[in-house]
């Protein structure tokens, strides 16, 4: 029985701490360790539910897909800039985390909300999903709005997107948001616009189909990107001189050459 502590001034429903006992959303943490992946534990702590193994694998894949995108995103630049002044690892990483907002990572949530609106419209107005998508895009264009989560500055065919949808289908996930996402791609193609769904849009569609609260989507992106930010800060601290001017565009890669997991 999970009644609240009687003397408590306030309560939290996340983790119960007692002598020699730590339980996350009701699960003994020592039992979770070794039994579930970190992606599974992320799903648990954010939704209250431990996912089935295929969903856990999908959660891990979503986190892996966003672990880093090089040194040009503002989160990496902010973290490196702060690190170059002699800041600690945690302060530098925090500057990177603070950069994950509406315009950086926010398309995950925004795209999911637009896809839901399209799916809702399809149901409400008894339109096909394609028709609902098409009409919604026209309305957005007339209002001067852009559809978030579609198109990419660099990637015309984002390698992460196809893989995410493949893994989602393998996990049996293919709900109204993913359906709406395909309808949007078709609607763009019909007007000769090459605006395929990007990695943010794909993650938004999948997380929404998993039933996760959109308010947590940017948080999932923060979790995913934290290792990348840490790697950038440590590299800045160990490889560059303090207070250098960090060119946000003209930098290259000199790490390991291409290699394969299966080797």
By CB under 8 A, the residues from 73 to 92 that bind its own copies are 74-75, 77-78, 81-82, 84-91
Site string for its own copies, 145-164 (x = CB under 8 A): ---------xxxxxxx-xxx
Q: Which is nearer to its own copies, 120 or 240 (CB)?
A: 240
Least spacing, CB of residue 58 vs its own copies, in Å = 8
Rg of the Cα atoms in the chain: 21
Q: Nearest 5°: phi and psi at 33?
A: -65, 125
Contact call for residue 203 and its own copies (CB under 8 A):
no
**Six-digit token pair at 107?**
């398309």
- From residue 118, give the alpha-carbon distance in Å to each of 75, 151, 185, 205: 31, 18, 13, 12
In the region spanning residues 24 to 63, those forming contacts with its own copies, defined by CB under 8 A, are 24-39, 41-42, 45-46, 48, 50, 57, 60-61, 63
Name the DSSP letter for residue 125. Answer: T
Between 16 and 135, name the residue whose CB sits nearer to its own copies: 16
CA 177 to chain centre: 15
Report the site for its own copies in 110-129 (rule: CB under 8 A): none
Q: What is the DSSP string of 47-102?
A: HS-PPPHHHHHHHHHHHHHTS---S-SHHHHHHHHHHTTT--HHHHHHHHHTT-BT
Do the Cβ atoms of 209 and 175 come closer than 8 Å? yes
Nearest distance from C-beta of residue 122 to its own copies, angstroms: 29
144 binds its own copies (CB under 8 A): no
Min separation Cβ 5 and its own copies, Å = 3
- Least separation in angstroms between CB 72 and its own copies: 7
Question: Residue 14 interacts with its own copies (CB under 8 A)?
Answer: yes
Contacts 24+ apart (CB under 8 A), 48-56: 48/13, 49/25, 50/25, 51/210, 54/170, 54/171, 54/172, 55/171, 55/173, 55/210
**Stretch near its own copies under the rule CB under 8 A, chosen from 96-104, 115-123, 126-134, 175-183:** 96-104
2 binds its own copies (CB under 8 A): yes
Q: Which is nearer to its own copies, 30 or 138 (CB)?
A: 30
Window 232 to 261, contacts with its own copies (CB under 8 A): 232-235, 237-238, 240, 242-261
Residue 95 is a binding residue for its own copies (CB under 8 A)? yes
Among 51, 55, 93, 173, binds its own copies (CB under 8 A): 93
Q: Cβ distance 220 to 62 under 8 Å?
A: yes
214 makes contact with its own copies (CB under 8 A) = no
């Amino acid at each position: 029985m999970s009644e609240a502590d009687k003397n408590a001034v306030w309560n939290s429903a996340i983790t119960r701490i007692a002598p020699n006992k730590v339980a996350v959303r009701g699960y003994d943490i020592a039992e979770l360790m070794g039994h579930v992946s970190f992606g599974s534990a992320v799903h648990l702590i954010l939704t209250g539910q431990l996912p089935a193994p295929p969903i856990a694998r999908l959660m891990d894949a979503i986190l892996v897909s966003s672990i880093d995108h090089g040194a040009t995103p503002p989160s990496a630049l902010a973290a490196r800039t702060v690190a170059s002044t002699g800041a600690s690892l945690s302060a530098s990483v925090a500057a990177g985390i603070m950069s994950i907002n509406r315009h950086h990572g926010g398309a995950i949530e925004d795209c999911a909300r637009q896809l839901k609106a399209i799916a809702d419209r399809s149901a409400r107005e008894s339109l096909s999903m394609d028709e609902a998508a098409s009409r919604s895009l026209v309305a957005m264009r007339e209002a001067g709005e852009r559809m978030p989560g579609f198109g990419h500055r660099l990637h015309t065919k984002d390698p992460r997107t196809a893989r995410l949808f493949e893994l989602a289908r393998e996990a049996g996930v293919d709900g109204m948001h993913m359906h709406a996402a395909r309808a949007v791609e078709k609607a763009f193609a019909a007007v000769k616009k090459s605006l395929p769904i990007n990695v943010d849009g794909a993650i938004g569609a999948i997380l929404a189909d998993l039933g996760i609260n959109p308010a947590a989507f940017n948080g999932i992106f923060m979790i995913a990107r934290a290792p990348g930010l840490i790697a950038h800060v440590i590299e800045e601290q160990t490889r560059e001189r303090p207070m250098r001017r960090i060119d946000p565009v003209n930098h290259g890669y000199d790490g390991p050459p291409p290699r394969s997991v299966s080797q």
